[in-house]
Amino acid sequence: MGKKEADIRLNKFGTVSFAATTKVNDFIDYLEKDKVAGTKCKDCGLAFFPPRADCCQCLSDNTEWFEVSGTGKLVTYSKLKFAPVGFDQDLPYAIALLDYGDYKVFGRISGEIPDDDIKIGMEMKTVANRLPNEQLNYIFQKP
């Protein structure tokens, strides 16, 4: 029997990825199609972002994809002036959390938004993004 090729799509996620294989690797396919997606448990209805293959509420692995759409409220953020190894070329950048009600999204604020325009509580949308090194992530923009 031939060896099955490993599914390492998650290697594409972020400036530097730290994991290659997950059961929710389709997340990368959605990013390629300019979509940001989470999963929802088909048995109990719980929504997950980031996506999960397994539901911790009812132990089901019967999940479906949903697209992160509309806007979320900026919960909090911080702008980094010093970066961990591998992220120097991205500086400065801001990490942040958006609250969509049923779920939250952790990511980066678009570098095009001036510091003075960033306010806790503001509405922002989550947008798929291609990084200069051809990796994929998503960023928060003004709606």
Question: In whole angstroms, what separates CA 51 from the centre of its chain?
Answer: 9
Q: Which is nearer to other proteins, 1 or 85 (CB)?
A: 85
Taking CB under 8 A as the rule, does residue 127 contact other proteins? no
Taking CB under 8 A as the rule, does residue 30 contact other proteins? no
Taking CB under 5 A as the rule, does residue 62 contact Zn ion? no
d(CA 24, CA 9): 10
**Residue 45, Cβ neighbours under 10 Å: how many?**
11
| Both tokens assigned to 47 | 């929504």
Closest CA to 9 of 20, 1, 17, 19: 20
d(CA 110, CA 105): 14
| Both tokens assigned to 85 | 């190894």
Task: Collect all residues with Cβ–Cβ distance below 8 Å to 56 and sequence separation of at least 6.
Answer: none
Binding mask 87-126 for other proteins (x = CB under 8 A): x--x--x-xxx-----xxxxxx-----------x------
What is the smallest separation between the CB atom of 66 and other proteins, expressed in angstroms?
Answer: 15
Question: Of 4, 6, 18, 132, which one interacts with other proteins (CB under 8 A)?
Answer: 18
Of 1-9, 29-37, 62-70, 81-89, the segment contacting other proteins by CB under 8 A is: 81-89
DSSP letter at 2 equals P
What is the smallest separation between the CB atom of 105 and other proteins, expressed in angstroms?
Answer: 7
Enumerate binding residues for Zn ion (CB under 5 A). 41, 43-44, 55, 57-58, 60
Binding site for other proteins (CB under 8 A): 10, 13-19, 22, 49-50, 75-87, 90, 93, 95-97, 103-108, 120, 137
